[in-house]
Every structure is written in C-alpha cells, then in structure tokens.
C-alpha cells in the first residue's frame, strides 16, 4: 500500500492490516496505559504485545520508535518491546508541574482508625492546581478545613503520605536493529533509517542568551531526553518547553488523553526525516497524525473507536496552516 499524505483506519491495529513489511520509517504512539484513566474501558489493559511484533515487522531496519507509557507500568511495556525484538535506546521524560498529587493525610486516618476526633485548627481557601475547563486563571473554589491529628500516634505520623506529586510521563525510545552486517551509515544509505534527526530538533538559544560550550551550533543545543511544560529557572534553558493541553468537553476534541501537537511535532521530527512515513497504531484523536502532516511526513494511523477516529479525520482534513496555529 502506498501512503498518500496520510492513511487512517477505523479498525483495530492488531495485524496492521494493509501495511507492508519494512515499509515504515518511524513509530510514534501513545497506547493505552492500562491504568483505567477516567474509567475508560479502552485504558483497562496494556496493549497485547502482538502489536509490537506487528510494528517491528513493518518498520524498516534501524527505524526508531517512541512509545508513551505510565510510570507504574513502563517496566511491563519495556519488556514487551524488548521481547518483540526492539532495542531499548532511551527513556524521555516529559516533565510538567501541574500533576495532581494523590497523597492523603495519614495522621488524620490514624485518628479515625483509633476513634479519636482530629482537631479542626483553621480554614483555607481551596485553589485548584490547574486552570479548569481552559480558564485563564486558577480558580478558588471553596473553603476547606485544616485538621491536626489528636491521637499520640497521629501526632507521631503527622504529615505522612502515600505518594509523590507526579511530574513526568515517560516516553520509551526504541529501535529496530540495523540490518545484520550493516553500519549505521550503510543502513541509512539503504533504508533512510538508523539515526535520530538531531538537526531538526535542536533546542534553540533564547534571544540574547550567552552561547555556552566549545563549538555552539547556530541552531541550538542537542535535544535532551527531558521535555518539560514549565521553565526550570536555572539562568539559561536547556530543555524543550511544551505545555500540556487539557481535555475540553465543550470543544470538538473530547479525547481524554489528547497530547499537545507541538510535543508530537518534536517527537515526530526526532525519529524521522522529511517525506518519511510515521505509524501510530493507537492514534486516538490523531495528534501524531496532525504533527506528522505539519512536519511534511506521511502518516498511517489506526483507531478502534469511531468517535475518536472522526475527530482525527476532521483534524487531518483541516488546512496544515490552521493545524499549526491551533495546538489542540
Ligand atoms: C492514549 S489514547 C491516544 C490519544 C492520542 N495521543 C491523542 O492525542 O488523541 C489511546 C487510543 O488507543 C485506542 N485503541 C485502544 N485499543 C485499540 C486497538 N486495538 N486498535 C486501535 N486503537 C485502539 C483507544 O480508543 C484510544 O483512543
């Protein structure tokens, strides 16, 4: 099957029907995390590992892949990928500051367990940690009470919690092995794959920023394996800044886990070159596809859910310039 600008399919990705072996240059995908996000059925389990076997078959030798995953289950998916024949090359961190901590105040739980009434010591105005529904500013929703543990054991464990604030999503970088006996350069000459596209993904210097390093490249620094949504204020900036996008129920794209197009553009560019073909077996609302088309790559996508497929179809039909302007 030849690929026009894009080929998208409203069917299961298993088997990658219609895609020829050794025909795809790169894989960029955001599969189900297996964490039942917002109780979605499609996120109840990790994908079956046969999709990685299918993916390595259709990739050209030396082709790279980027696979989003969750912190808790990344080890499983890494084993699946390795068992399917991929080399694990790196793990990128997409870091953000607006993750919601899921911890709780254990000292108050201990009081409750012991039948001791915790002391109410004050009130505070609850400000939600993100701009709800695309609001321009953080909203102060309501007044909450501050409790102090009253039992002896509660006081001993004052401040104890159960988890950290999540601040990154891992993205596993994989590679199909080069053709046996070929060097990277020989593989590139034969297939156009085997190397990362550092040139197109350099981190530009800020205006007026002093160029550090022995031989600064005019386009900026080599891209790092950390991408973040907020600046780390360390004087000068070494990482990509890509903000999160929020699900907007009022907007036509209601996919609960949509990824920002500028993040996907960076990833697409990193593992492919102009005019090459990028595959996303779990395209959801098509963010990888929009990014691929914006970056002059061809795209093959699969989505099992009709309503998400329709969103991807609408987005991909839009004019490229409009897609570049709207980071939904
Ligand atoms: C994490 S979401 C992808 C979201 C996407 N990155 C976006 O920006 O919209 C994963 C998607 O995989 C789809 N999916 C799950 N199993 C599938 C299968 N067997 N074949 C194709 N798509 C599948 C789900 O319906 C879901 O939309």
Over the stretch 245-297, which tens digit does the pLDDT of each residue have? Answer: 765 555 678 888 899 998 999 999 999 999 999 999 999 999 999 999 999 99
CA dihedral 317, 320, 321, 325 (to 10 degrees): 80
Instruction: Kindly indicate the confidence band of residue 228, based on its pLDDT and cuts at 50, 70 and 90.
Output: confident
Q: Inform me whether the pLDDT recorded for 157 exceeds 90.
A: yes
pLDDT top residue among 162 and 138: 162
The count of C-alpha atoms lying within 13 angstroms of the C-alpha of 88, restricted to the half-sphere facing its C-beta, is: 14
Nearest in space to 170 (alpha carbons), one of 54, 304, 35, 9: 35
Q: What is the pLDDT of residue 239?
A: 56
pLDDT of residue 325: 54
Please provide the average confidence, as pLDDT, over all residues in the chain: 87
Mean pLDDT score, 83-104: 87
Residue nearest to atom 25 of ligand 1 (CA): 305
- With a Cβ cut-off of 6 Å, ligand 1 is lined by 12-14, 30-32, 42, 255, 257-259, 282, 284-285, 287, 302-305, 308
- Measured from the Cα of 47, ligand 1's closest atom is 16
Percent share of the chain, pLDDT over 70: 82
Element (H, E) at 28: strand 24-29
Mutate to test the pocket of ligand 1, among 284, 287, 291, 307 (most ligand atoms within 8 A of CB): 284
Domain ranges of the chain: 6-98+167-325, 106-156
Closest C-alpha to ligand 1, atom 27: 284
* Distance of CA 58 from the midpoint of ligand 1 (Å): 19
Nearest CA to ligand 1 atom 20: 12
Residues 6+ apart with CB under 8 A from 287: 30, 258, 259, 260, 261, 264
Phi, psi of 265 (to 5 degrees): -65, -45
91 or 320, which is more confident?
A: 91
* Superfamily for the 6-98+167-325 domain: Vaccinia Virus protein VP39 (3.40.50.150)
Would you say residue 124 has pLDDT above 90? Answer: no
Can you give the pLDDT at residue 324? 55
Q: What percent of the chain has pLDDT over 90?
A: 63
- Closest residue by Cα to atom 3, ligand 1, is 284
Burial category of 179 from C-beta neighbours within 10 Å (exposed 0-12, middle 13-18, buried 19 and up) = middle
User: For residue 130, what pLDDT is reported?
Assistant: 56
Residue 327 vs residue 227, higher pLDDT: 227
Give the pTM.
0.85
Q: Are β-strands 140-148 and 119-127 bridged in parallel, bridged antiparallel, or unpaired?
A: antiparallel
Instruction: Determine the pLDDT at residue 128.
Output: 64
302 burial (CB, 10 Å; 0-12 / 13-18 / 19+) is: buried
* Helices 287-294 and 261-271: angle between axes, nearest 10 degrees: 60
Element (H, E) at 185: helix 184-191
Q: What is the pLDDT of residue 100?
A: 73
The Cα 171–Cα 153 span in angstroms is 41
**DSSP for 69-102, written as a single string:** --TTTHHHHHHHHHHTTPEEEEEEEEE-S-PPP-
pLDDT reported for residue 243: 66
Q: What is the mean pLDDT of residues 74-79?
A: 97
pLDDT tens digits for range 26-69 = 999 999 999 898 889 999 999 999 999 999 999 999 999 999 99
Among 48-52, 184-188, 241-245, which stretch is predicted with the lowest mean pLDDT? Answer: 241-245
Q: Based on DSSP, count helices (H) and strands (E) in the chain, helices before strands.
A: 9, 11
């Amino acid at each position: 099957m030849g690929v026009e600008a894009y080929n998208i399919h409203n069917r299961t990705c298993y088997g990658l029907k219609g895609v020829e072996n050794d025909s795809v240059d790169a894989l960029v995908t955001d599969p189900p995390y297996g964490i039942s996000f917002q109780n979605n059925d499609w996120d109840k389990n990790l994908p079956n590992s046969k999709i990685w076997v299918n993916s390595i078959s259709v990739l050209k030798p030396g082709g790279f892949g980027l696979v989003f995953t969750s912190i808790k289950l990344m080890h499983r998916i890494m084993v699946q990928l390795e068992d399917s024949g991929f080399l694990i090359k790196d793990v990128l961190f997409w870091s953000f500051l607006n993750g919601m901590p899921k911890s709780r105040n254990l000292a108050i739980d201990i009081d409750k367990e012991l039948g001791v009434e915790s002391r109410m010591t004050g009130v505070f105005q609850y400000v939600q940690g993100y701009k709800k529904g695309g609001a321009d500013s953080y909203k102060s929703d309501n007044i909450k009470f501050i409790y102090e543990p009253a039992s002896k054991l509660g006081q001993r464990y004052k401040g104890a919690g159960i988890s950290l604030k999540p601040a990154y999503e891992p993205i596993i970088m994989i590679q199909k092995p080069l053709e046996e006996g070929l060097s990277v350069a020989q593989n590139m000459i034969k297939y156009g794959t085997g190397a990362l596209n550092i040139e197109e993904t350099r981190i530009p210097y800020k205006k007026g920023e002093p160029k550090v390093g022995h031989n600064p490249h005019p386009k900026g620094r080599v891209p790092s394996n950390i991408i973040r949504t907020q600046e780390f204020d360390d004087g000068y900036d070494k990482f990509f800044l890509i903000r999160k996008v929020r699900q907007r129920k009022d907007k036509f794209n209601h996919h609960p886990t949509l990824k920002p197009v500028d993040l996907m553009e960076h990833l697409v560019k990193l593992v492919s070159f102009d005019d090459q073909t990028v595959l996303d077996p779990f395209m959801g609302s098509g963010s990888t596809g929009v990014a691929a088309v914006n970056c002059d790559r061809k795209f093959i996508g699969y989505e099992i859910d009709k309503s998400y497929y329709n969103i991807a179809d609408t987005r991909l039909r839009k004019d490229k310039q409009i897609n570049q302007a709207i980071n939904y």
